[in-house]
Structure 1
Amino acid sequence: FPILITSDLISLYLILALGYFVAKSFGKKPINGVLIALGSFLMLTPFEMTASFPTETGEEISTLVSGVIPITNFGPQGIFLAMIVGIVATRIYVYFDNKGFKIKMPASVPENVTNMFETMIPASMVFIVFMLVRVACMHTEFGSAQELIYGLLQGPLQSIGGGYAGAFLYIFLGLVLWVFGIHGSMLLYVAMAPIANAMWAENMTAFASGLPAPHPEWLYMYFTNLGGSGSTLALVLLMAFLGKSEHFKTLGRVALPTSVFNINEPVIFGTPIVLNPVFALPFILAPSVNFLLTTLVNSMGFSVLTGAMQNNYYPIFALQALSTGSWTGVVWTIVLLAIDLLIYF
């Protein structure tokens, strides 16, 4: 049930947030943006689905059931459509509102009544636009806007950027950006959020159904960056216990408690790793090796990720145990940490 009202409805939450913030950014009432974006999204949503029923002879027959909404329209499969509709619908409303397509009310009329009448015409025009889009999509081979956007846009993008190559690129480029002092993972998340969120949501849905994670590579972050970006826990341990410089010894001991919880900004800027070609090499190499080796052991069935999302700031070993639901996650973390120690040494 928690999965049903969270990740299975992620597109619904996204459309509400986009309507709110797009309207607010143009100085319009956010609630108007929320309602118009949601209404436009529902305008494109088919209220019918194909259902299968067993007959008395044991055979199954399929029929079209009207008056129901397939829950998949509000899940990961609808993320791209939700983004498009949330932005476009609200922007059309802003355009019509700015052009004065609204009913003017006297100043003596209460504000809530005035808002209702002033929004009526712009909102109606937006809904008419999306009703026409719905009708046009029904006459395509896809049958609905959800299937059209997924088939032409989201599906191909996920197949290109959502596999192992996409996940590795997401991690690798984030590390490179960190070397130049830019928070790589945050910056790349902004660019790849539609793909990443779709991958994570599909993993969680599979986990809730007791199925293997369809995209385990997007969960390798739990093993890739031990101690934070760059897998710097190994570096912190070396500095704290083997460092010959007082600066490195002190930094290692100060950074060790936070590194256990995957927070390593003191190390990145205090070593420094930023703009440091010597430390940049192991900083990028260690997580890359961790990713490739984790891919190997996961395919062999040793340390298999469950698909459940975890908080990245859980302490090391606990995080990996929860992400695999097994002691094998802890064992594999110890192996990777030993390899990282060698790389940084």
Structure 2
Amino acid sequence: MSKINSVLERYIMPFAGRVAEQRHLQALRDGMVLTMPLIIIGSLFLILANLPFQAYTDFLADHPHLRTSILYPYRGTFEIMALVATFGIAYRLAESYKVDPLASGAVSLAAFFVGTPFVSYTIGQNPDGTNIIETAYQTGMFTSKGLFVGMVIAILATEIYRIIIQKDIVIKLPETVPPAVARSFSALIPGFAAIMAVWILRLLVENIGDFGNLHNVVTLLLQQPLTQIGTSLVGTLITFLIITLMWSTGLHGATIVGSVMTPVWLTLSNENAASLAAGEPVKHIVTNEFNDIILIGGSGTTLALVLTMVLLARSQQLKQLGRLSIGPGVFNINEPIIFGMPIVLNPIMIIPFILTPAISVIITYLSMDMGLVAKPIGIVTPFTMPPIIGGYLITGSISGSILQLVIIAVSFFIYFPFFKIWDNQKLKEENTTNITSKMEDQQSVI
């Protein structure tokens, strides 16, 4: 066990720590968090428009305008995801550099619009018979379709902005000018440079090669490879392995990995939600909600472990820890277990902690791929949604709840033998402590 701990401490922890502290990944993670409340709000209305009751469904089918009205908040949240993320990522990155985050967010958002292509359409005819052409932004790019472009532009624009600010290439006004006005003028040169850079990139892409626009470039070079790798069965297994391995060293694996994968998962969630809103079958298995189906009790799928501690622990330490952890565990919060048992740097418990999510991924992926369980329908629930209820909401089917019950049962059988080893070890320590304490009491009496 000491050798395993040594390997974890010497090789895994330093690397994982550097990844966790990387400012751009932190900005991506924190910026994406800004979109989550809006997505959850939109999901509530998506649920409302698709309640699984036949009479209700028939009623909405007879009144399509009512269903369209119910979906207004869904469209007002899901369909601006790229805009919110662009602002949020730029804001957080600028904040880490200690430059004006609000100005950087605004500049990055403007740069996103500069890089977004237009679409032309006919709105009528002139008296001479020629068509009247109107141009407008491709608003579809404001949704998750433009998320990766927003990420790239937010980082690029903010880096340009902060470099110029830090080199003090700014317009300086007298001290008598109000600070808000002075900050606005300070942002002129760096903001102009950032927007010019994106404008030049757009012109180059549109006039050189066959990409067409910036969104196509990012999709081909970044989004598609990440989606194909990260949402296959093997790629998903590797993703969950990295998450649990980082947690095993005390780092928040879900947020670190999520800074890279959340944009991919949310894009696919949004596509499933759009299919549901349009009355079409959903396509994707691995989405943002796929994690919530599997990670029952938190990373490592530890709810079954907590229940085992409460019901079967012989050592007082683990039984008491289980009682304290059952409440948070039901709401998928398991830091008390990870750090209190502990699982961190514990070679005995690390094995099932890594193995359980991996087995759960295989069960979930294959059962959905074979049609035994409904796929996620694009409804993003809070991560604290209790299991069984969460499985039903995420899939829109009782099969999602049954799947989570199966995962809990499988988790129990994986964790139990390792739990018994750790429990017996703790019981032995407690007995040794009690014997020592009694001997000391007897000696004091003598």
Q: Does residue 241 of structure 2 align to residue 172 of structure 1?
A: yes
Question: In structure 2, what is the equivalent of residue 59 of structure 1?
Answer: none
Match of 2:199 among 131, 137, 144: 131
Aligned mates of 1:109, 1:340 — CA distance in 2? 64
Structure number having the greater helix percentage: 2
Q: Secondary structure at the match of 2:117?
A: coil
1:10 maps to a residue whose letter is: M
Which of 83, 88, 97 lines up with 2:151 in the alignment?
83
Note the 1:41-190 alignment, pairs <5 A. 41-49=112-120, 66-99=134-167, 101-139=169-207, 140-190=209-259
> Aligned-pair RMSD on alpha carbons?
2.8
Distance (Å, rounded) in 2 between the aligned partners of 1:179 and 1:100: 44
Alignment of 1:262-277 (within 5 A): 262-277=332-347
CA gap of 1:70–1:132, structure 2 versus 1, over 3 A, is: same
Aligned residue in 2 for 1:289: 359
Aligned residues of 1:7 and 1:205 also touching (Cα < 8 A): no
Q: Deviations over 1:51-90 (max 9, x none)?
A: 9xxxxxxxxxxx9964221122112222222122112223
Deviation of 1:118 (Å):
4.2
Please tell me the residue identity of whatever aligns with 2:303.
L
Partner of 2:321: 251
Q: Give yes or no for contact 1:46–1:144 (8 Å, CA) kept in 2.
A: yes
CA change 1:89–1:250 in 2 (3 A) is closer
Change (3 A) 1:265 1:18: closer
Secondary structure, in 3 states, of the residue corresponding to 2:319? Answer: helix
Given the alignment, which residue of 293, 302, 306 partners 1:232?
302
Contact 1:49 1:70 (C-alpha < 8 Å) held by counterparts: no
One-letter amino acid matched to 2:224: G
What is the CA–CA distance in structure 1 between the aligned matches of 2:175 and 2:314, rounded to whole Å? 76
Matching residue's letter, 1:178: W
Question: Unaligned regions of 5+ residues in structure 1, if any?
Answer: 52-62
TM-score, structure 2 as length reference = 0.68
The CA distance in 1 between the partners of 2:252 and 2:192, in whole Å, is 43
State how far apart, in whole Å, the 2-side matches of 1:145 and 1:131 are. Answer: 10
Map of 1:200 onto structure 2: 269
Structure 1 or 2, whichever has the larger Rg, is 2
Residue identity opposite 1:271 in structure 2:
M
What residue number does 2:387 align with? 316
From the superposition, tell whether residues 171 and 111 of structure 1 become closer, same or farther in structure 2 (CA, over 3 Å): same
Q: CA deviation at 1:13?
A: 0.8
Offset of residue 9 of structure 1: 1.6
Shift of 1:313: 1.0
Distance 1:142 1:317, change over 3 A: same
Deviation at 1:141, TM superposition (A): 0.9
Could you tell me the percent identity over the aligned residues? Answer: 32
Contact 2:296 2:302 in 1 (8 A): yes
Aligned residues of 1:40 and 1:85 also touching (Cα < 8 A): yes
> 1:58 is matched with which residue?
none
> Could you tell me which amino acid in structure 2 is paired with residue 266 of structure 1?
P
Q: Partners of 1:109 and 1:257 in 2: how far apart?
A: 55
Q: Which runs of 5+ in 2 are unaligned?
A: 1-71, 123-130, 417-446
| Mapped partners of 1:22, 1:270: distance in 2 | 33
Aligned partner of residue 217 in structure 1, secondary structure: coil
On the 8 A contact 2:236/2:361 being kept in 1, the answer is no
| Cα gap change, 1:154 to 1:220, in 2 (>3 Å) | closer
The 3-state SS of whatever aligns with 1:67 is strand
Amino acid at match of 2:218: I
**CA, structure 1 residues 266+144, in 2 after alignment: closer, same or farther (shift >3 Å)?**
same
1:213 and 1:306 in contact (8 A); partners too = yes
TM-score, reference length from structure 1:
0.85
Q: Is the Cα contact below 8 Å between 1:212 and 1:307 reproduced in 2? A: no
